[in-house]
Structures are given as structure tokens and as C-alpha cells.
Structure 1
Amino acid sequence: MRRERCAPRQDWRARVESLGFDFHSLDGAYWVDDACYRFRGEEIDRIEAAATELHQLCLEAVAQVVERGDYAELGLDARAAELVECSWRAREPALYGRFDLAYDGYGQPKLLEYNADTPTSLFEASVVQWYWFEDTAAGADQFNLIHERLIERWPQVLPAGAHVHFAGCLAAPEDRATVEYLRETCAQAGFQTQALDISEIGWREQRYVDLDDRPIAQLFKLYPWEWLLAEPFAEHLPMAPTRWIEPAWKQVLSNKSLLPLLWRMFPGHPNLLPASHDPAAIDGPLVAKPRHGREGEGVSLHQSPPLLAAPDTVYQAYAPLYQSAGGHAVLGAWVVGDTAAGLGVREDDGAITRDGSRFVPHCFD
């Protein structure tokens, strides 16, 4: 694994904008066209195997939580727990997720967190970097089957002939791109689709409806479950016939309290880092993460454990990221359904990956 400088495509801005990627320079330089990460084939195999293994561990964790009713540690109240149990026992299928991994080409990839509910940077990982790879012929291949796997997955998630609504905060460029891209893959899978802003969802005659009063039977929401439960219309969730994508059981996986749960269930697992709600349980440098923080918000590094545990905070052993002249790199391993499907690399000048961290394409030999 190494970061390499490369000649940027002469017309790369026009090229990516033609794909619908219009936020390539948001807050400076988001897309990097003059560098790439190059892997060996065996390193890609290791990353793929780690994502597959972690996915199975996570499913075991959900099953245990539902069986034992251990929701308090995850910060889930009775209403959230009821939704988790109903969706898990109904075997509602999930669509996708992204494991963020620390890896430098040696040893085993280590799980930093699981973006299981509303992962973004999907369009960049699936489409934008693939066209970069085809344009540059930088390596022998790219770990990127995301698009094909999504099209294959939709018929396993939806009933035949379904009309699917796609909702999110569409004023945000990255959210809009993610929603539109997933809507396109769903349409390519043969389903009728319709986009709307999350604020445009209404309630009428015991069901959620769109602006035309059309019932929302199937809804993909790029909107976190904890935000959804805080909305005034959340009181209708238990009685609404709407099928949610991602399903409500993803609440068990989409908060960082999953990390101590996994470490307790699988202590010493090679793809996991020690994690706890008690900082004193972690030896050496550690990272403090809010239970529901996103894009690096509220994350802090500590050389020694804080004296007191902060509420709703998870502590995880520090794992150094791959470092180069480009900064610190975190690997995003994508899972579609139950299968590892691709890789995206984000890098930042600092050790914490944030909303504006750069996306760098990859290839392997």
C-alpha cells in the first residue's frame, strides 16, 4: 500500500461534473486527481476478508441484543427498541454500509467505526473513482463492484413492482448526490422511484404520504434513525405500514456503542480494537467518540485515559492511520447486502477524518 503522485487528467473537473459530481471542490479540494493509493492484490484480499468478517460479527451482535434486550448500553429507549425488534424479527433486509478501517498494508485492518445507517461518499467510491480508473489505466484493477452489487441487491430488498420513495436533506450536495445515485441504481434494477426532501413527508389517514398524498410504502431515507425518532411525526412510526431502508435494526449498528459490544463479544479479535464506555479500561493512547457523532464531530485523541467518563461517549484504543505526504488515510470498505463490494480512501491533514476530508482514488496490481 502506498500513496503515489500522478498526472491529473487535463479536463478532470469537466469530466467529473459530467457524471453529476458537482461538489468536487467543496470547501477547497475534496476530490484528489493528482494522486492515488496503490495496493497489492493480497492487500485487497485482506481488506475484503476483514469487511466480510466484520459484517458477520455485527449481525451476531444484533441477534444478541435482541435476544437479551440489551438496549440501554446502546442508548436506545423503549420506542427505539420496539422498532429494532420488530424489524429484526421480520427479517427486513439491509441495503448497504461502510466500515471505516485503519490499515497500513501490514497486519490486519482494524475497525474504527461502522457507518451502517446513512453512509455517504458512496457515489465517489462507486462511480467517480471508477471513471478515473478507466481514464488513467493506473493499475490492473480497482476493488469496486459497488454499482453492480447495488443493482443485484434491490430486488432482494423490495417486493416486485414496488414504488420507492427516496428522501434526505436534498439541499446538502453530498446527501443529494447519494440519494440520487441510489435512486438511479434502484431504477436500473427495474423499480419506479421518486425523490423528495425529508421535510416533505406528511401523515394522512394512518400512513406517511408524499406531497401528492401518495402513500409511502417503501422509503429509502438518508436520514439517521436517531434524528427520525426526534421528529414530531415519529409518534406514528410503530403504526405506519412504511418499509424503511435502512431497517430499524440498523440502530444497533449505527452508533459507536457497538464498538464496546463487539469487543466484549469477541475479545482479541484481529479486526477489532479494545473499546469501552470506561476510559480506564483502555491501556495507552485512546480515542474518545460521541455515541452518535458523525464525520469526526466531537472525536478527540488522548495519550492517557481521562479521569472521568463522559456521558454517551465511547473510548477506543488508538490505531495509527497510514501516513504519507498526503496526510492520514482511512479506508472505507463497502458492504452491499452481505457481501464486501468495494473500497474508498479518505485522507486528512490531521488524524481525525472529517466532513471535508479528501477523497483519493485507488487501484491495485
Structure 2
Amino acid sequence: MRRVAIAERSNWRELAAECGFDFHTIDGQPYWDESAYYAFSLREIEDDVEAPTLELHQMALALVDDVVRDQALLEKLAIPEHYWTWIADSWRRRDPHLYGRMDFAYDGTGPAKLYELNYDTPTSLFEAAFFQWQWLEHNLSRGALPAGADQFNSIYESLVDTFGGMAHRIAQPFYVSAVRESTEDQGTVAYVRDCAIQAGISCEEIAIEDLGLSRDGRFTDLHDRVIGSLFKLYPLEDMFREEFGVYLTRSGMQLIEPPWKAILSNKGVLPLLWERHRGHPNLLPALFDDGTPLAPGWVRKPLYSREGANIAMRLPDGSQLDSEGPYDGPCIRQAYHPLPVFDGRHVLIGSWIVGDHACGMGLREDHSPITRDSAHFIPHAIIDGLAEQGPRATLIA
């Protein structure tokens, strides 16, 4: 694993505009960055990223089965009681799910360590599935990458195949939805919609703010049609808090991601996984936060938090780093394990699960040890017998 400098494509911004990648720059700051890429060997990908992703995914699914049967665990995860039966029924029916992302710390030399699961509303999908693949093809054609370079990336094909397999279970009309003013989220749901259409599924878009409610408690579109299925890039726990939340359990609307993903989108799965698989090489020690320290350092995360918000990090030297944000409530505490640093940048690997298959990854860099929503997305390539030289990782304790 190395970070390798490379010349940007002169026309990448025009290419981004052509394919609707409107969020390559966010608040005036670059989000997409192709001035470098991360080079991996095939062994690193297959043994250290793909295989652990698949194994941890199976462990996570087994955990759902435990949680839906145990009131004490549902309480630990701070899931409102009103939704317990709804979530359990969704799991017992095995309501179909589309995708998820695991975030790992990995430097190319040791086991990848799971930071968290993003299994309800994972983003960075379009840039991982499409734009970095386009980057690879263009750089191969112009000779900027070694012949035979590849990428861990069958995300698009997996999305279309998974949609095809669940098509008969998607009630019509089917909508994809996100917050109207979120350019990134709207770009993600537009890509999901395209994948559904490629699988032969009729699909429309609606903003979360435009969801309606009929007199008999069913969700409707702007034409007062009852919505059959909804892919929502909007956190389930936020839907629970909305005025319409209480109707979710009896509206009959199918959700993608399904209600049982409320368990796996919760940081509380980290201590639960550790309790069941203590010492697993890809897990970090974790516990529900009761003030007990984890030597020699720890990271505190709210059960419900996203994009690096409201993180408290105590480093082994006693210093502390905190991030602001809107999240509060119960927390977990995870053992400190630093992200590798390449050329002054802390890099996080996001490994994608589509259906039940590990099928690709994307990397984000931040100048801070906490990966925030301002982190840069960097493409990657699989290059065995690496000829280019680039900086190796350093670890900052």
C-alpha cells in the first residue's frame, strides 16, 4: 500500500459535470482529489480488505438475530420501544437490503481494524462506484498507470444485480429520496435510481420534505399516490423523531434500507461484536460508555452520529481531540487505533457491501485523525509489482 502522486486529468471537472458529479467541490473546498492515488497489491485487497469485510458482515447479520430477540439489547442500543416489533418483523421476513459500508484503518502491514459500520445511509457511493472507475480507465488509456492496473470495484454491477434480485419484492410506486438541499445526498440517490432502472425497476425521485401522509396513515407522493417502496438516504433514527415517525410501523410502506438496519447503523454494535468475538483480529476493544477508560487511549462516539461529528479522542500521550456536532445521548468507547498517515494525511478505507457481497472500496483522507465530512476522496488502483515509488504509511500514536 502506497500513496502515489499522479497528474490530474485536465478535463476531469468537465467530465464530472457531464455525469452529474456536482459535489466534487463542497463549500469551496475540494472533495474529489486525483492528484494522487493509493496503490495496493492484489493480496492486500483480497486478504486484508475483501475477506475481512465479508466475514464481519456475516458476524453483523448474526448479531441482528441476537438483538431482535433480546429486549435488554434493544434498550442498550437506545432504539425506541415503539419500533421494536416492526424491526423484529422486518428481520424475520428478511426484508431485502441493498448496501452498506465498513470503515477500516489499514496501512498495508497488519489486519484492517473496523472503525464502524455505515449500514443505513452510507454515502461516497457514486464517486466510489463510477467516478474512480472512470479515472482508472482514463489513466490506463493515457499511459499514466501501469498496463494491467485494476481496481477493487464491482460496485455498480453488484448494485444492478442486487436490485434485479429484489425487484419482485419492491412494491410500486418506488421512490428514492433525500433531503432536497443536500447536493451530495441528491447525487447519491440519483445514482441509486439509475442502478434500479438499469435492473428494470421503475423508479422516481422525491425529496424527504415532500413526503405526504394520507388520512389513514399511509405515505404519499406529491400527487397523493400511496408510496409502495422508498429508498431513503435519511437516517432511520431521524425518521423516528419526525412527526410522521409513528406511522412508519403501520403505513405498509417498504423501506430500503429495511427497518432491521436500525440495529446495524448504531455504534452500539461495536461493543456487542467485541463481546461475542473478543480478540478478533479485525475488531477493536469496545464497550458501552460508563466512564471506564481503555488504556492506552480511547475514542468516544455517540450511538447515533455521522461524518466524524461529536467524537472525543484521548491519545496515549494524554492529549485529547474533540469534534463538534449535533449528536448527543448514549455513547460507546472504542480502543484508540490510529489511522495510518501518508504524506501528512490520515487515510480511511471504506469497504462496500452490496447485497451480501464485498465488492469495492473508496478511500478518504483528512488532515485530522478524525475523518470529517470535509475529507477528500482519493482513487485507488491494484498494481502488483509496483514500479512507482510513493510514501509508505507512518503511524502517529
Instruction: Provide, for residues 111-169 of structure 1, a one-character-per-residue CA deviation record: whole Å limited to 9, x for no partner.
Output: 00000000000000001101000010225100000000000001333326843111111
Q: CA deviation at 1:47?
A: 0.3
Is this contact kept in 1: 2:180–2:209, CA < 8 A?
no
Counterpart position of 1:288: 300
Distance 1:354 1:297 in 2: 7
Q: Secondary structure at the match of 2:237?
A: helix
Q: Secondary structure at the match of 1:3?
A: strand
Structure 2 alignment gaps of length 5 or more: 320-327, 384-397
Matched, 1:169 2:179: yes
Range that drifts further, 285-294 or 97-106: 285-294
Counterpart position of 1:37: 38
Is this contact kept in 1: 2:303–2:329, CA < 8 A?
no
Distance 2:296 2:54 in 1: 29
Counterpart position of 1:202: 212
Range that drifts further, 213-222 or 159-168: 159-168
Counterpart position of 1:302: 314
Aligned ranges 1:314-333 → 2 under 5 Å: 314-333=332-351
Matched, 1:181 2:187: no
1:223 to 234, 237, 242: 234
Instruction: Provide, for residues 211-261 of structure 1, a one-character-per-residue CA deviation record: whole Å limited to 9, x for no partner.
Output: 011110011011100000011111211211111000010011101111111
Q: Please, what TM-score do these two structures have when normalized by structure 1?
A: 0.96
Is this contact kept in 2: 1:93–1:156, CA < 8 A?
no
Instruction: Provide, for residues 5-59 of structure 1, a one-character-per-residue CA deviation record: whole Å limited to 9, x for no partner.
Output: 1011111111222121112121311111110000011011020001101100100
Q: Secondary structure at the match of 1:229?
A: helix
Is this contact kept in 2: 1:61–1:262, CA < 8 A?
yes
**Equivalent pairs, count:** 362
Structure 2 letter corresponding to 1:292: Y
Distance 1:7 1:136 in 2: 9
1:146 to 155, 158, 180: 155
Q: Secondary structure at the match of 1:71?
A: helix
Counterpart position of 2:94: 91
2:119 to 97, 116, 120: 116
Distance 2:177 2:299 in 1: 33
Range that drifts further, 96-105 or 16-25: 16-25
Structure 1 letter corresponding to 2:300: A
Counterpart position of 2:243: 232
Counterpart position of 2:65: 63
Is this contact kept in 2: 1:12–1:33, CA < 8 A?
no
RMSD in angstroms over aligned alpha carbons?
1.6
Is this contact kept in 2: 1:163–1:191, CA < 8 A?
no
Counterpart position of 1:49: 51
Counterpart position of 2:164: 155
Aligned ranges 1:120-135 → 2 under 5 Å: 120-135=123-138
Distance 1:133 1:311 in 2: 42
Is this contact kept in 1: 2:297–2:314, CA < 8 A?
yes
Distance 1:279 1:325 in 2: 35
1:341 to 345, 359, 369: 359
Q: CA deviation at 1:326?
A: 4.8
Is this contact kept in 2: 1:101–1:113, CA < 8 A?
yes
Q: CA deviation at 1:301?
A: 1.1
Q: Secondary structure at the match of 2:30?
A: coil
Instruction: Provide, for residues 159-189 of structure 1, a one-character-per-residue CA deviation record: whole Å limited to 9, x for no partner.
Output: 2684311111131111000010000000010
Distance 1:7 1:328 in 2: 21
Matched, 1:355 2:355: no
Q: CA deviation at 1:73?
A: 0.8
In structure 2, the CA distance between the partners of 1:350 and 1:132, relative to structure 1 (3 Å rule), is same
Counterpart position of 1:103: 106
Distance 2:272 2:42 in 1: 32
Q: CA deviation at 1:303?
A: 2.9
Q: CA deviation at 1:311?
A: 5.0
Range that drifts further, 234-243 or 190-199: 234-243
Aligned ranges 1:74-89 → 2 under 5 Å: 74-89=77-92
Matched, 1:244 2:285: no
Distance 1:121 1:160 in 2: 26
Q: Secondary structure at the match of 2:230?
A: strand
Q: Secondary structure at the match of 2:153?
A: coil
Distance 2:167 2:89 in 1: 17
Q: CA deviation at 1:322?
A: 1.7
Q: Secondary structure at the match of 2:68?
A: helix
Q: Secondary structure at the match of 2:39?
A: strand
Range that drifts further, 18-27 or 225-234: 18-27
Q: CA deviation at 1:67?
A: 2.1
Identity between Structure 1 and Structure 2 (%):
42
Q: Please, what TM-score do these two structures have when normalized by structure 2?
A: 0.88
